Chain A
Amino acid sequence: MSFKDQLSELANRQKNALAMGGQEKLAKRTEQGYLDARSRVDFLLDQDSFREVGLLAKSNVKADRDCTPADGKVSGFGRIYGRDIGIVSNDLTVKGASSSETNAKKISYIKNTATRSGMPLVFLGESSGARIPDSMGAEAMSQAGTDPQQYCRRRETPWASAILGPCFGSSTWYSCISDFLVMRKGAVLAVSSARVTSLAISETVDSEELGGWRLHADKTGLIDAVADTDGEALALVRKFLSYLPAHSGEAPPVVPLKDWTAPDKEKLLELVPVERAKTYDVRKVIRAIADEDTYFPLKERFGKAAVTALGRIEGQSVGLLATNPMIKGGAMDPDACRKATGFLVMCDSFNIPVVLLTDTPGFLVGVEGEKKGAPAHIMNMMHALQLMSMPKISLILRKSYGQAFLNLGGGRNSDEMAVWTSADVSFMDPGIGASVVYGLNPNDNPEAHAEATEKLRTDTSAYDMAAVFGVQNVIDPRESRSYLCNALKTHKNRKTNGVGRHELANWPTYF
């Protein structure tokens, strides 16, 4: 065959592979408002930066060679904000993007290359699970699981996933071991489909109930963010990765001075009520401290008594972990602790210093929490905080009582602690303490209870802490941002250029 003919054949094969599952299926997706696997890649990456590998891969089953373009998984490398990444985008129009012998090799290739070369990895999930009938039978199963590191996470580079349709099997597994997981409304994340599940348990199962966004955003805490459209989800993946380094061996990128603005610090005096009984939304405080438009919440609808967010202070990425008095008074429950633990693991793995903002009446106590193993979740979080080697700066806004004081950086559990003038620190709320210590019931004996409360309220102030160097400084709330910025600079590890020990990098991806 002449080169002319060879090149014509190559062009023809490429054209067929790029046609994906055919015009009809693609048109239907467009009608439904969903992007196809290739449009998603283009939308996510910097313009014209996609370099595909495996375009001409096909099913290893000979009879399927002509109907498996790219074998249902588009894979390659590209750039986000100028940085190289590896990507796998599932093409549902080709055999439901089901997992096969060939496309498993493609995923493995991208994953191994990204890990070895220090690139973030992005998975765009939408697949039906194992390819049937290819994977039926003992012989086929014996070919599965040949990579003993397939689902092993050491967090050498960041992984981000978007759930953009039905996700079962491997795209569910990869999503669940990612550092960031965004789900488009209407998508499903589950072990297997509603149809398979219904057949297996002889009970009708609804897809949304089985793995819809509400389940994962509110109840399981598996997902970090929710999006209305494919485009919105992909924009969140780009934004998430912008806070992180390309790999664990470097510090996160710093946004130059001209590209960030400081929020209005005067607001800080109005956002937090001085009265201890009043609640407020700590997310507004975070916004008044971090660079404008950099607040990036994670798992906002789950374990809401704690807020976990990425943000920047003077262009430097920080992890913000705060208690939110608006929810449960800021008393962390097991879900809030699980969320905090996972967040600390991510920050430690990717060299992101942490700022802890505290206003809490203590951990939430009660039968429901104990049933969920509250003490172990509190200790998981504490363990993570103590193993974490990145700078930890703690700021008490108002109340901080009991063990929660320690879990949020009190004592020597942070590198530096400052308190607002409104700080109030003790073992428990003085009003509850009066009942416990003196056996006084506020309804039976209000005057004696009030007197005992007042007695316990003395010696709990910011200045009592400062006097014994229990905190490094007492500050004007309006100085919070500049204080935190300077403290972060002081505690940066210059010897490693801001790279930590990563003792949490091998911790689980879900708690």
Chain B
Amino acid sequence: MSPFAALLRKDLRVELRTLRSLPAMALFAVSAFVIFRFGLDRTTLDGELAAGVLVPTLLFAALLGINRLFVAEREEGGFDLVRLAPLDRTVLFAAKASALVIYLVVLELIAVPIFAIFFLDSASGLVPFALVLLLADIGLAATGTLISTIATMSSARDLLAPLILLPLLIPLVIATAGAGEHLLASGGPDYGRFGTWLGLLGLYDLIFLLVGYATFDFLLED
């Protein structure tokens, strides 16, 4: 088994056995939907309001879970063991980011259908929106892995990651909400600027995967 597959499998197996992150993230998202139902006093949503409820809720739920992926690693000495192993440390970046993408996809597989049942009249926009979410997940995983590694090594770990990530993720929110606004419109999906938003998401993913690949090594040095 390649080191990448071994590390990824370990993270997924830990989550399957302990269920420390995903159930909490999903529960948070569903509770947030109920909060919005009363906060906005709306029983159906479409267009920019639908995107405006769904996208930030997924973002906040993701922030809730990101740190868990790294706190255990540090507390149990996982980082030290990876440092000792004769392997390229960027493999750890790739494995952590992939684990995070899988977490986020599972979160969305639970939360987005519930959102559709709660608020949407028509679910036809969700299929193209899934592609948008997947690209956003990759970007979120790239910056999330980088910043979360920094945060877990600091003394303000639970505070620091959301603090730095929120402004850093604004371009992702702009693209995801921008695409969602048209895809979830009440008259059925509208592909007006779909390509623009996919392009922006792709660019974000590319830039931060490269930055992560280039700098992750320096976070693990001792």
- Co-assembled chains A and B: no
The interface of chain B, by Cβ under 8 A from chain A, is: none
The interface of chain A, by Cβ under 8 A from chain B, is: none
